Amino acid sequence: MPKMVAQYTEEMFMRLATFRPPGADASRGDATWGLVLGEEVVDVPRAAAGRPGADRFAPTLKGQIARFGTDTSALADLAAALLADRGLAPEARHRLDAVALLPPLPDPGKVICVGKNNRTHLEELKRNQLITEMPEEPTGFIKLNACLVGQDAEVERPDGIVEFDYEPELAFVIARRAHRVRKEDAMDHVFAVSLLNDLTAREIQRREVRSGTRFWTAKNMPGFGPFGPFLVTLDESGDPADMWLSCTVNGRERLRFHTGDQIFQIPDIIAHFSRFVVLEPGDVFTTGSPHGVAVGQPNASELFLRPGDRVEVAAEGLMTLRTSIV
**For residue 198, what is the DSSP state?**
-
Task: Please give the distance of CA 67 from its chain centroid, rounded to a whole number.
Answer: 21
Q: In terms of DSSP bridges, do strands 100-101 and 168-174 run parallel, antiparallel, or are they unpaired?
A: unpaired
- Asked if residues 292 and 257 have their Cβ atoms less than 8 Å apart, the reply is yes
Overall average pLDDT of the 189-216 stretch: 91
Question: Cα separation of 98 and 96, whole Å?
Answer: 5
Counting every residue written for the chain, the total comes to 326
The alpha carbon torsion through 279, 132, 122, 206 (nearest 10 deg) reads 90
Q: For 8-16, what is the mean pLDDT?
A: 63
Q: What is the mean pLDDT of the chain?
A: 91
The arithmetic mean of pLDDT across residues 5-15, rounded, is 53
Q: Which pLDDT tens digit goes with each residue over 240-251?
A: 999 999 999 999
Q: Give the model's pLDDT for residue 273.
A: 98
Q: What is the pLDDT of residue 6?
A: 39
Q: Are 170 and 247 in contact (CB under 8 A)?
A: no
- Which pLDDT tens digit goes with each residue over 267-283? 999 999 999 999 999 99
Q: What pLDDT is stored for residue 1 in this prediction?
A: 31
Angle (CA) 261 267 273, round 5°: 110
Percent with pLDDT over 70 in the chain: 91
Distance CA 132, CA 135 (A): 10
Does pLDDT of 119 surpass 80?
no
Is residue 176 scored above 50 in pLDDT?
yes
Is the confidence at residue 302, as pLDDT, over 80?
yes
Is it the case that residue 201 has pLDDT exceeding 50?
Answer: yes
198 pLDDT higher than 90: yes
Confidence of residue 125 (pLDDT cuts 50, 70, 90): low
> Is a pLDDT exceeding 90 seen at residue 131?
no
Q: What's this model's pTM, rounded to 2 decimal places? A: 0.92
Say whether domain 111-325 belongs to CATH 3.40.50.1220: no
Side by side, the strands of the sheet bearing 319-325 are: 153-155, 319-325, 310-315, 244-249, 252-258
* Confidence at residue 11, expressed as pLDDT on a 0 to 100 scale: 52
Alpha-carbon gap, residue 294 to 318, rounded angstroms = 25
In Å, how far are 115, 132, 201, 206 from 212, measured between CA atoms? 16, 10, 17, 10
Q: What are phi and psi of 34, to 5 degrees?
A: -160, 180
Question: Strand, helix or coil at 78?
Answer: helix
User: What does the domain layout of the chain look like in residue ranges?
Assistant: 15-101, 111-325
Is pLDDT of 10 > 70?
A: no
Residue of 319, 301, 303, 321 whose CA lies nearest to 311: 321
